[in-house]
Amino acid sequence: MEAFVGTSGFGGRPVVAKAHVCAAKRTASVKMTAAGEADMVPDMNKRNIMNLILAGGVTVPFGSVIGGWLYFLYPPSKGGAGGGSIAKDALGNNVIKAEWIKTQGKGARKLVQGLKGDATYLIVNDAGDDLESYGLNAVCTHLGCVVPWNAAEKKFKCPCHGSQYDKTGKVIRGPAPLSLALAHVEEGGSGEVVLKTWTETDFRTNTAPWWK
């Protein structure tokens, strides 16, 4: 709009105060913009709720990833009294002591899945009526090959680099630097074979267990 403020000295034409009108428009526009921005800013409660939603959205997937890695690195126990693991056969079934002895026969050294999933030898005693109180981790202490039992020579012989161990798993020829790791062999409440970590002195070398 234009405001009439009087006439000029040149023919009596009206003089309009446009500057005042523009200034008024700008002032109104600034007030409306400020009001609009104020409406767009959430109050403190709304901001707190939004922060919680954002934090939850980040934490859930991040926690799922970390949880998955922890599950992979530290799998749940396979069961067994006192924190031991139940021995599993090649099919993943629990090894039952009486059945194993009957099936394998005296002096047998056969592999099962043992502590941490490692291949482990169960040993039937020479009388054929019981298992030895220890099992042997089958992983060679040189570079980690699985060491087979040579029944004819009555010793363990690594096919990778020629290391040899006697019938108790004691190293008798390099390049392996150490004997095979021991595990306790016990019978569970349902007759299953339970393997537990050996923490006592190594009876073969009279030294502390290196695998602790």
Q: What is the CA radius of gyration of the chain?
A: 41
Task: Provide, rounded to the nearest whole percent, the portion of the chain with pLDDT above 90.
Answer: 60
The pLDDT of residue 212 is 77
Q: How far apart are CA 64 and CA 90, in angstroms?
A: 32
Asked if residue 14 has a cis previous peptide bond (ω within 30° of 0), the answer is no
Q: Are 148 and 141 in contact (CB under 8 A)?
A: no
Q: In what order do the strands lie in the sheet with 109-113?
A: 85-86, 193-197, 182-187, 134-137, 119-123, 109-113
Average pLDDT score, the chain: 78
**Over the stretch 34-85, which tens digit does the pLDDT of each residue have?**
445 545 555 556 556 666 565 555 444 544 444 444 434 444 444 444 569 9
**Over the stretch 151-197, which tens digit does the pLDDT of each residue have?**
999 999 999 999 999 999 999 999 999 999 999 999 999 999 999 99
Q: Which of 210, 209, 201, 192 is nearest to 85 (CA)?
A: 192
Give one DSSP letter per residue of 122-153, joined into a string. EEB-TTSSSB-SEEEE-B-TTT-PBPPEETTT
Q: pTM, whole model, 2 decimals? A: 0.63
Q: Which of 125, 174, 130, 123 is nearest to 149 (CA)?
A: 123
